[in-house]
């Protein structure tokens, strides 16, 4: 049975053209993300499993481990009527859905995470954010990347989110590379106006 998730209005409508592929979220058994990703490749199903490198100290050596950035989730790009192929993959529990069917994820959100990984960003898990000054990277390796800016301990971080799963990641970035896209008026939000010198 598919999970019943009621997405906010910001999500893409589930009433989409059946002939167009979109990104969806496959929920997996714990620690089965890599296995699921490999099986999807074998089935020629486009998938995306973002990971980060974690260095662990074993008894006699240090080892580097590839850890899923969003534990329990693998993204798949399929036509809506191909969901049965995805659900037939062992260790996939369900696709995140509402009453109308699987809920698509914005291409922009997937592209943002991909851009960070492709350019070697040192991503860190971050509390899910929905408010704050929305900024865009105007130059450099991450040009075009958008997210919410926060300031902590004299550092500037850009928070990128996948709204459907309510999870965010952050990367440190030079404030001079950012331009304000959409400000917020909330005094409690960590803003970019003072940080970026935007009135």
Q: SS3 for 97?
A: strand
User: What pLDDT shows up at residue 192?
Assistant: 38
Strand partners for 4 = 97
pLDDT number for residue 37: 98
Question: Model's pTM, two decimal places?
Answer: 0.81
Q: Which range among 27-36, 109-118, 145-154, 181-190 shows the weakest confidence by mean pLDDT? A: 181-190
Provide mean pLDDT across the span 25-34: 98
- Integer Cα distance of 19 and 81 in angstroms: 9
In this predicted structure, what is the pLDDT of residue 199? 27
CA triple 158-23-111, angle to 5 deg: 30
pLDDT in tens, 161-182: 999 999 999 999 999 999 999 8
Q: Which CATH architecture has domain 3-105?
A: 2-Layer Sandwich (3.30)
What stretch(es) of the chain map to CATH 3.30.70.940?
Answer: 3-105
Residues contacting residue 6 through CB under 8 Å, at least 6 positions apart? 98
Percentage with pLDDT > 70 across the chain? 83
Residue 188 reports pLDDT greater than 70: no
pLDDT at res. 18:
53
Q: In 29-154, which ranges are E strands?
A: 46-48, 51-57, 62-68, 73-78, 92-98, 101-102, 124-126, 134-137, 146-152
Residue 199 to residue 196: CA distance in whole angstroms: 9
Q: Which of helix, strand or coil describes residue 4?
A: strand
Mean per-residue pLDDT over the chain, rounded: 85
Residue 127 sits at φ, ψ, to 5 deg, of: -55, 140
For residue 28, is pLDDT > 90?
yes
In the predicted model, is pLDDT for residue 118 greater than 90? Answer: yes
CATH 2.30.30 in the chain, residue ranges: 108-196
pLDDT tens per residue, range 56-78: 888 788 888 899 999 999 999 99
3-state helix, strand, coil in the chain (%, to 5): 20, 40, 40
- Name the fold adopted by 108-196: SH3 type barrels. (2.30.30)
User: Taking 50 as the threshold, does the pLDDT of residue 147 lie above it?
Assistant: yes
């Amino acid at each position: 049975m598919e999970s019943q998730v009621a997405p906010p209005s910001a999500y893409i409508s589930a009433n989409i053209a059946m002939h167009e592929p979109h990104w969806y979220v496959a929920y997996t058994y714990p620690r089965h993300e890599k296995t699921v990703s490999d099986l999807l490749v074998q089935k020629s199903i486009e998938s995306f499993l973002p990971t980060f490198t974690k260095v662990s100290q074993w008894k006699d050596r240090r080892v580097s481990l590839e850890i899923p950035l969003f534990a329990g989730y693998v993204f798949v790009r399929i036509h809506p009527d191909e969901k049965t192929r995805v659900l037939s993959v062992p260790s996939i529990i369900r696709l995140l859905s509402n009453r109308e069917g699987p809920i698509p994820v914005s291409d922009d959100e997937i592209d943002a995470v991909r851009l960070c990984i492709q350019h070697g960003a040192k991503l860190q898990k971050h509390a899910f954010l929905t408010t704050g000054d929305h900024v865009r990277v105007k130059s450099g390796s991450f040009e075009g990347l958008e997210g919410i800016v926060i300031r902590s301990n004299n550092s500037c971080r850009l928070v990128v989110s996948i709204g459907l799963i309510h999870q965010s990641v952050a990367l440190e970035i030079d404030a001079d590379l950012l331009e304000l896209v959409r400000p917020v008026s909330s005094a409690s939000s960590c803003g970019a106006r003072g940080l970026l010198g935007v009135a």
